[in-house]
C-alpha cells in the first residue's frame, strides 16, 4: 500500500493485501473501512475514487487494514453496525448483531400485543441482550411498552445502555445485569425474546478465527448440544410469562425439533418454526398455556 495515494488505488491495494492474507470479503471490508474514514456511505465511494488521501487518512486506513488482516471483524474496527435500520455501537463487550436476528425482531413486532393499535402496554424482556440491538429496536418501533434487556455480562449491559442513549430510546427501556428469576416475579411478563448462545461447543471450536478469537465465547458457545442456555431460558420463561404470554427464540438450524420438545415440556403451546433467508429453521415462537 506504500505507493497508493488515490482512494481507488488504496482500495485495490487493501483488497489485494487482505485477500493475500486469506481474509474473506476483502473488498467489502476495505470499502467499509474507507467509508468510515471518508465519512460517506459505501455506495458513494465510487464518486471519490480519484480523491487523493492525506497522509493521516492513509495511516488510519493502514491501521484498519492491519487489524482486519489479523482477523478482527470489520464491525469492531469501525465500531458500529446497522441493525433494523439503526446504527449500533459494537465492540468486544458483545456479539455483533447478525442479519438473521432482524427476523426475530420482526416476528416480535408482529405479535398481537405489539402490532396494530393495541391499548395495552406490554412488558417485554430480552434475555442475553448483548449490544441491546433486539430490545432497543423493538422499543423504537413500539414506544408504548415497557422494555427490559438482561445480560449476565456487566460490560454488555454498559454497551446496551450506551446504545439506548445514543439512539434516543426513552425511559421505558431499562437494562439490568441479572437473570430473569432474580429480577421479575412469576407471571408478570407479556413477551420474552432471546437470541441465546446456541452453537454446540465442538462446532464453536471450528468457527472461523475472526469470530472465535474476537467475539465473546459466552455469546456463542451453548455447551455440548448447544442448548444449555436455551433450556434455562425456556424454564425461566415458563415461570415469568403471564398465562398466554409470548416467547420468541432464535435457534441453531438443526435445533427446531429439540427446542420444540423443551417448549412442550415447559407448557408452551402454539409452537411455530420460521426459516431464515437461507431457508434454514431459525426462529421458534410459542405461547404459555393459559
Ligand atoms: N441479543 C444480542 C444479539 O442478538 C446478543 C445475543 C448473544 O449474545 N447471544 O445480537
Round to whole Å and give the CA distance between 174 and 165. 11
pLDDT tens-digit readout, 234-276: 999 999 999 999 999 999 999 999 999 999 999 999 999 999 9
Is residue 171 scored above 90 in pLDDT? yes
CA 248 vs CA 19, 74, 165, 251, 288: distances in Å = 39, 29, 25, 10, 11
- Protein residue with its CA nearest to atom 4 in ligand 1: 195
Atom 1 in ligand 1: which residue has the minimum CA distance?
Answer: 129
Residue 2 pLDDT class (50, 70, 90 cuts): low
Q: Which atom of ligand 1 is nearest to the CA of 83?
A: 10
Ligand 1: residue whose CA is nearest its atom 7: 219
How many angstroms separate the Cα of 202 from the Cα of each of 60, 213, 226, 242?
37, 15, 9, 36
Q: Which residues are CB-contacts of 270 (< 8 A; sequence separation ≥ 6)?
A: 285, 286, 287
16 has pLDDT over 70: yes
Instruction: Determine if ligand 1 sits within 6 Å of the CB of residue 219.
Output: yes
pLDDT in the model for residue 237 = 98
Residue nearest ligand 1's atom 5 by CA: 130
pLDDT over 80 at 103, yes or no = yes
Nine cell digits for residue 101: 436476528
Please compute the mean of the pLDDT values over residues 98-110 and round it to a whole number. Answer: 97
Q: What is the pLDDT of residue 122?
A: 95
Distance CA 15, CA 10 (A): 8
**128 in ligand 1 pocket by Cβ < 6 Å?**
yes
Query: What are phi and psi for residue 252, nearest 5 degrees?
Result: -70, 150
Ligand 1 atom with the smallest distance to the CA of 194 is: 1
Whether the pLDDT of residue 4 is over 70: the answer is: no
CA–CA distance, 160 with 104 (Å, rounded to integer): 18
Each residue's pLDDT tens digit, 74-96: 999 999 999 999 999 999 999 99
163 contacts 89 by C-beta, under 8 angstroms: yes
Evaluate: CB of 95 within 6 angstroms of ligand 1.
yes
Of 140, 135, 137, 176, the closest CA to residue 157 belongs to 176
Residue 132 has pLDDT above 70, yes or no: yes
Provide the grid cell at 197.
448462545
- The CA distance from 208 to 211, in Å, is 6
| Amino acid 144: pLDDT | 87
Report residue 210's pLDDT band, with 50, 70 and 90 as the boundaries: confident
Atom index in ligand 1 nearest the CA of residue 129 equals 1
- pTM beyond 0.85: the answer is yes
Residue 252 Cβ inside 6 Å of ligand 1? The answer reads no
Amino acid at each position: 500500500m506504500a505507493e497508493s495515494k488515490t482512494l481507488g488505488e488504496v482500495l485495490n491495494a487493501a483488497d489485494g493485501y487482505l485477500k493475500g492474507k486469506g481474509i474473506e470479503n476483502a473488498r467489502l471490508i476495505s470499502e467499509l473501512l474507507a467509508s468510515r474514514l471518508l465519512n460517506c456511505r459505501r455506495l458513494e465511494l465510487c464518486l471519490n475514487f480519484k480523491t487523493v488521501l492525506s497522509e493521516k487518512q492513509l495511516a488510519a486506513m493502514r491501521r484498519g487494514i492491519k487489524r482486519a488482516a489479523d482477523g478482527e471483524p470489520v464491525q469492531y474496527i469501525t465500531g458500529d453496525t446497522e441493525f433494523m435500520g439503526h446504527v449500533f455501537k459494537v465492540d468486544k463487550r458483545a456479539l455483533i448483531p447478525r442479519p438473521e436476528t432482524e427476523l426475530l425482531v420482526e416476528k416480535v413486532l408482529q405479535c398481537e400485543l405489539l402490532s396494530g393499535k393495541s391499548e395495552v402496554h406490554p412488558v417485554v424482556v430480552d434475555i442475553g441482550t448483548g449490544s441491546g440491538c433486539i430490545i432497543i429496536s423493538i422499543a423504537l418501533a413500539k414506544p408504548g411498552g415497557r422494555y427490559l434487556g438482561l445480560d449476565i455480562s456487566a460490560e454488555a449491559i454498559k454497551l446496551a445502555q450506551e446504545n439506548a442513549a445514543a439512539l434516543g430510546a426513552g425511559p421505558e427501556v431499562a437494562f439490568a445485569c441479572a437473570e430473569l428469576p432474580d429480577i421479575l416475579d412469576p407471571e408478570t411478563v407479556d413477551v420474552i425474546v432471546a437470541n441465546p448462545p446456541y452453537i454446540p461447543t465442538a462446532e464453536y471450536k471450528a468457527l472461523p478465527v475472526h469470530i472465535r478469537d474476537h467475539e465473546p465465547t459466552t455469546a456463542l458457545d451453548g455447551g455440548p448440544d448447544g442448548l444449555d442456555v436455551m433450556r434455562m431460558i425456556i424454564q425461566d420463561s415458563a415461570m415469568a410469562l403471564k398465562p398466554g404470554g409470548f416467547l420468541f427464540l432464535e435457534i441453531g438450524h438443526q435445533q427446531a425439533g429439540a427446542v420444540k420438545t423443551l417448549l412442550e415440556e415447559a407448557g408452551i403451546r402454539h409452537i411455530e418454526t420460521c426459516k431464515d433467508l437461507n431457508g434454514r429453521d431459525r426462529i421458534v415462537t410459542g405461547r404459555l398455556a393459559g
